[in-house]
Structure 1
Amino acid sequence: MRDVPTIQGDLARAVTDPAAYADWDTLLDTFDHIRAAAPVVKVLPDTDGVFDPFWLVTGYDDVMRISKDNQTFLNNPRAVVFSLAEGIEFARQMTGGSPHMVASLVTFDAPIHMKYRKLTQEWFMPKSLRSVEDAIRALAQATVGRLIDAVQNNAAEVDFVPLVSAPYPLHVVMQIMGVPEEDEPRMLMLTQQMFGGQDEDLNQSGMKDMTAEQITQLVAGAVKDFEAYFAAITAEKRARPTGDVASTIANATVDGQPLNDRDMMGYYIILAAAGHDTTSASTAGAMLALARDPEQFARVKADRSLLAGIVEEAIRWTSPVQHFMRTAAQDVEIGGQRIAKGDWLMINYVAANHDPSHFSDPRTFDAARSPNRHLAFGAGGHQCLGLHLARLEMRILFDVLLDRIAAIELAGEPARSKSTFVGGLKTLPLKITPS
């Protein structure tokens, strides 16, 4: 029997501790070390029962293979996001047995996954998105206008995250969903509680060292608030349907039956939450890269055809969705390791998108990188539904920003969120010179 490569102790904590993901360069060093030793490695807890052992997959080719093989590597029946055992048990108690606090496209497997995906898929295709480009540009102009006002009132420093990269994608996705603008602050708070549950600055709890159960309770509370809000939206859209995504979901049927409450609420939540934090992280990452490189800023300001490269590289470089978990449906070999049926695997997009065997000088932000077939949107049947929207709204925002800004520079050290799942900058202090 061949030896199974394992990691434990400090190295395992560097992969599973939310705080480790806030120290980006050290995290990348860790993944480089692990990948060089064994691109597929078993991660073990120091104490039995803290978390279930899992296979960490760090190489690009292996992550791509797993992402595209949705028959062998399932999103069910185990948790699709890494969680400590007590958090998973709490979720099961809350849901009546499921490890998923929210039932959504992210947790479904075939054949139900594609049936649900098709309900809104056309909404997020480039042809359909052209109809909302003008509305998105208006939101971008309003957002940048508020940024310029803040700059003029406080020329020393502004924080790009709360002023621009957090609210802007939320405005966009809420408008597409048909959520009233006055309800957006509530949606922002709930998305931060769902995805910022591991970071005391984002979860709005005031608690620095929450236990796994406390984090899960916070997320559960946000889910309940989401469900209460969208239950009211559903009633309204069924009584008076309009041409938005919420109306499509509220009145949808699968196999001739309306969506059950849990699946419907999960659909709303995944669109509202996932469509916000991920684009926010990529947007802030692009701004950081431009602030660090005045020459690149000048080039893209003069030639907007370079914007597509800026956007794509920002998405790879930041990798906002940092991992997903999969469950092996059968015995299989990956990266030279024998994976048994039922084993849990972490496909780590941060590691894959910084794999030097696939990306030359991966830590460098290179807007001219080509090809740039990154894995930040996943691949295969579970590839991100909103990838075209994310690219569009980022391109429009930076087109507007570049019209209004003559120069940018860092005004302090940016800080990343503490999160193993969705992560990115939580602060980006800038000094901005308006045009």
Structure 2
Amino acid sequence: MPHQNAVVDTAALMDPDTYVDGVPHALLAELREQASVHRVGDFWAVLRHAEVRHVLRSPTVFSSHLGGTQVRDPATPEALRYVRRMMLNQDPPEHTRLRGLLTRAFTPRAVARLTERIEGWAREIVGRAAAKGEFDFAKEVADLPLLTLAEVFGVPVEDRGLLFDWSNRVIGYEDTDYAASSAFTGGTDLARAALALRPAPGPDGRMPDPRTRDGMPDLYAYAHGLAERKRRSPGDDVMSALMAGDVSTEEFENLFWLFSVAGNETLRNGIPGGMIALLSTPDAPVDDLGTAVEEMLRWWTPVMNFRRTAAVDTELGGRRIRAGEKVVVWFSSANRDPRVFDRPDVFDPARRPNDHLSFGHGPHFCLGAQLARAQMRAVFGAVAALPGRLVAAGPPLRLRSTFQNGVKSLPVRLAAR
């Protein structure tokens, strides 16, 4: 254990170039053993499991609304007002009202009704890719969350490429290659009207800031048009249910932004992250797929951190935190806290119990957790059913991001068992 007063350089934690080589788990471990809470730049980083849980279940002390949930501050007061309208960046009671309207769409029973279709899509996607012999696992399986989202939210399936484009632009804000890589063409008349508003990269190659309404005009145009259609001709989907409830068009548009990004990107990185976990321990038996999926989520941790803002003066982990200061919970660290997890750096597909925090905790616990688990079980069930085993065909290419533990490319090939 390092000396309690040892000085550790924390700058790498907020340098996106760090994550191109992987999450700095050694640095996080060193800091975590010194203290549960550290000052990093202009925020407090919360690194231990117990303290992360405490922050997440205490919205009256650690607010999602005051400054939003991203470490980087919105650029202008108007941008802050914009992000505050989203459910992700709200506190009770506003958050509770919107979440209540959505809860019935994500119950285990509702997910079970979709499971057979999800499993069929997964078998088709994995089987088609494996038939090539060698393929990019990250890119091939990316269609599953898109198909699932289109089904759940009533988006025409031919427009699902728009969801891919939008999530790339939001999550790839720190990775210009990723952000501008997936422009979509075609789709329905609603999609074509939205595409006419798609912004172009600037002279520096960067897309406009996606955390502003002006940065995503095509998404909002599509959401507005979809809302009007659902209001006129409701279907059996989440968006129709929202429009039938007490949800304004603006709230609908912001929820659509959240679903399009969070509902796609987290799983799109969690699935190849799970494959990397399996490749790291090829001889570890997977006796229970559900247990293995939970360990994939712990070991890979797709969303690395989330911000809160102190609403009052408080104390956390022996640190005095003032009202208005940023407090950032670090899931990548909490999920490897040895106080909770034995041999935390080892991927153990039989690990039980597994109290990981990859879906959060408290009032903002991920609504789509059951849906995400169903999709991961479907993918890796399809992988297990292949007539051979998948092995690495090259190193993974990681996303340049301080927020998402992303995988841009994962070359694999089908080999004999």
TM-score (norm 2): 0.88
Measured in 2, the distance between the counterparts of 1:431 and 1:342 equals 50
Shift in Å, 1:421: 1.7
Residue 332 and residue 218 in structure 1: after superposition, are their counterparts in 2 closer, same or farther (change >3 A)? closer
Structure 1 gap segments, 5+ residues each: 45-52
CA shift, 1:324, in A, is 0.8
Q: 1:428 to 1:209 in 2, by over 3 A?
A: farther
Note the C-alpha offset of 1:271. 1.5
Q: 2:254 aligns with which of 266, 273, 276?
A: 266
Distance 2:325 2:6 in 1: 14
Corresponding position: 1:163 with 2:133: no
Matched, 1:228 2:221: yes
**Which residue of structure 2 lines up, in the alignment, with residue 38 of structure 1?**
35
Equivalent residue runs for 1:21-420 within 5 Å = 21-24=19-22, 27-44=24-41, 53-83=42-72, 88-90=74-76, 92-93=77-78, 95=79, 98=81, 100-101=82-83, 103-149=85-131, 151=132, 155=133, 157-164=134-141, 166-204=142-180, 217-218=209-210, 220=212, 223-253=216-246, 258-261=247-250, 263-296=251-284, 299-300=285-286, 303=287, 306-420=288-402
Give CA-to-partner distance per residue, 1:317-348, whole Å, 9 cap, x none: 11111111111122211111111122210111
Q: Secondary structure at the match of 1:294?
A: coil
What residue ranges of structure 2 are gaps of 5+ in the alignment?
182-199
Q: CA deviation at 1:111?
A: 0.4
Quote the offset at 1:286 in angstroms: 1.4
Within 1, Cα distance between the matches of 2:163 and 2:84? 16
| 2:279 alignment partner, SS class | helix
CA distance in structure 2 between the partners assigned to 1:406 and 1:200 by the alignment: 36
Taking the aligned partners of 1:70 and 1:37, their CA distance within structure 2 comes to: 26
Query: Which residue identity is paired with 1:235?
Result: E
> Equivalent residue of 1:22, what SS?
helix
Q: Is the 8 A contact 2:208 2:215 kept in 1?
A: no
Give me the whole-angstrom Cα distance separating, in 2, the residues matched to 1:234 and 1:405: 45
Q: Distance in 2 between matches of 1:326 and 1:286?
A: 28
How far off its partner does 1:54 sit? Answer: 1.1
Cα distance, 1:159 vs structure 2: 0.9
Question: Which one of the candidate residues 14, 32, 36 is aligned to 1:16?
Answer: 14
- Secondary structure, aligned partner of 2:328: strand
CA RMSD of aligned residues (A): 2.5
Distance 1:19 1:259 in 2: 40
Distance (whole Å) between structure 1 residues aligned to residue 275 and residue 140 of structure 2: 13
Kindly indicate whether the alpha-carbon contact (under 8 Å) linking 1:58 and 1:351 is maintained by their aligned counterparts in 2: yes
For 1:241 and 1:345, how far apart are their aligned partners in 2?
41
* Matched letter for residue 329 of structure 1: A
Instruction: Report the secondary structure of 1:404's partner residue.
Output: coil
CA distance 1:7–1:81, change in 2 (3 Å): farther
Relative to 1, partners in 2 of residues 1:105 and 1:131: Cα closer, same or farther, differing over 3 Å? Answer: same
Task: Give 1:161's aligned amino acid.
Answer: A
**8 Å Cα contact 2:224/2:249 also seen in 1:** no
Q: Return closer, same or farther for 1:316/1:208 CA change in 2, 3 Å cut-off.
A: farther
Query: What secondary structure sits across from 1:217 in the alignment?
Result: coil
Task: Return the alpha-carbon distance in structure 1 between the equivalents of residues 290 and 390 of structure 2.
Answer: 20
Decide whether the 8 Å contact of 2:65 with 2:84 is kept in 1.
no
Q: Is the 8 A contact 2:126 2:383 kept in 1?
A: yes
Query: For residues 239-264 of structure 1, what are the alpha-carbon distances to aligned partners after superposition, in whole Å with 9 as ceiling and x for unaligned?
Result: 100010111122320xxxx4241x22
State the one-letter code of the partner of 1:276: N
Which region of structure 1 is more displaced relative to structure 2, 102-111 or 347-356? 102-111
Deviation at 1:66, TM superposition (A): 0.6
Q: Report the CA distance shift for 1:77/1:110 in structure 2 as closer, same or farther (over 3 A).
A: same
Compute the displacement of 1:222 (Å): 5.4
- Residue by residue over 1:77-130, the C-alpha shift from the partner in whole angstroms, topping out at 9 and shown as x without a partner, is 1131011x5xx224x34x4x52x5473221010101010001111110101111
How many Å separate the matches in 1 of 2:6 and 2:248? 43
Q: CA deviation at 1:42?
A: 1.5
Q: Is this contact kept in 2: 1:6–1:43, CA < 8 A?
A: no
Secondary structure class of the residue paired with 2:139: helix
- What TM-score does the superposition give when structure 1 sets the normalisation length? 0.85
CA shift, 1:22, in A, is 2.5
CA distance in structure 1 between the partners assigned to 2:16 and 2:310 by the alignment: 25
Mean alpha-carbon deviation: is it higher for 102-111 or for 185-194? 102-111
Q: Distance in 2 between matches of 1:7 and 1:218?
A: 36
Q: Does the 8 A contact of 2:83 with 2:89 survive in 1? A: no
**C-alpha distance in structure 2 between counterparts of 1:385 and 1:432, whole Å:** 35
1:68 positional shift: 1.2
**8 Å contact from structure 2 (residues 227, 249) kept in 1:** no
How far apart are 1:265 and its partner, in Å? 0.9
Instruction: Specify the code of the residue in structure 2 equivalent to 1:81.
Output: Q
Tell me the distance in 2 between the aligned counterparts of 1:218 and 1:259.
22
**Alpha-carbon shift at residue 148 of structure 1 (Å):** 2.5
**Local SS of the residue matching 1:118:** helix
Which secondary structure does the structure 2 equivalent of 1:247 belong to? Answer: helix
For 2:267 and 2:317, how far apart are their aligned partners in 1? 31
